[in-house]
Amino acid sequence: MKKLALASILCGLFAATSANAVIIDNSTPIPDANVLLNFNNSWLDWVYAGPIGPDEWAPGNIQPASYRAAEGWRVATAAEWAARPNWDDFIVPMDPCGITGSPQGGYTNHACYLFASEYWGDFSHVDQNDYAAGRVTDGVNGGPLGGVPETIYVRDSVGHDAPEPVSLALFGLGLAGLAAARRRKIV
């Protein structure tokens, strides 16, 4: 009887630890450490949001981009989608875990790979192998839902604003004025 009780407790603990993660509320911003910032100097940030399509299995599994619209996340335009990152662009610089060339399913190590599935749904992993095989979407672009595609979203880079043309022109005029003033002093 004691063995049966012990087995039941162990099975319960195993089931509890293998349950899906709890989604991190959208009032908590996604840390930059989980985001591919300013990809290829495009002024676009990309987030690897999770291992299935938005609302593919049920609402809440992976939220649509609108769930974090306050942070600027959205679906890509057709041109942005055409220039989206590959699965291996999300590898942490210097590839500390040696995952280049070997996409894996059920990947969970944030120290080696940029993803934020906990911020978009009740998952704590991504399936690099699905992304590498071309099964990726943002809910509008990409593969058909139902094929269990990975989800990525885009936003305009935060904190990497490009200088406006008027600001550059004013700066240039200021430099020209300083140069002219200096020239007059010398003569």
Residue 139 lies in a domain: yes
Q: Is residue 125 domain-resident?
A: yes
pLDDT digits (tens, 9 = 90+) for 4-54: 444 444 344 333 333 456 889 999 999 999 999 999 999 999 999 999 888
Give the model confidence (pLDDT) of 52-103 as tens digits: 888 787 766 899 999 999 999 999 999 999 999 999 999 999 999 999 999 9
Specify the number of domains making up the chain: 1
The first and second tokens of residue 120, run together, are 């978009």
What is the Cα–Cα distance from 3 to 6, expressed in whole angstroms?
5
Separation between Cα atoms, residue 57 and residue 66, nearest integer Å: 18
Residue 97 belongs to domain spanning: 19-186
Say if residue 128's pLDDT is above 60.
yes
pTM: predicted TM-score of the whole model, two decimal places: 0.75
pLDDT tens-place string over residues 139-178: 889 866 667 789 999 999 976 444 555 555 666 666 667 6
**39 domain-assigned:** yes
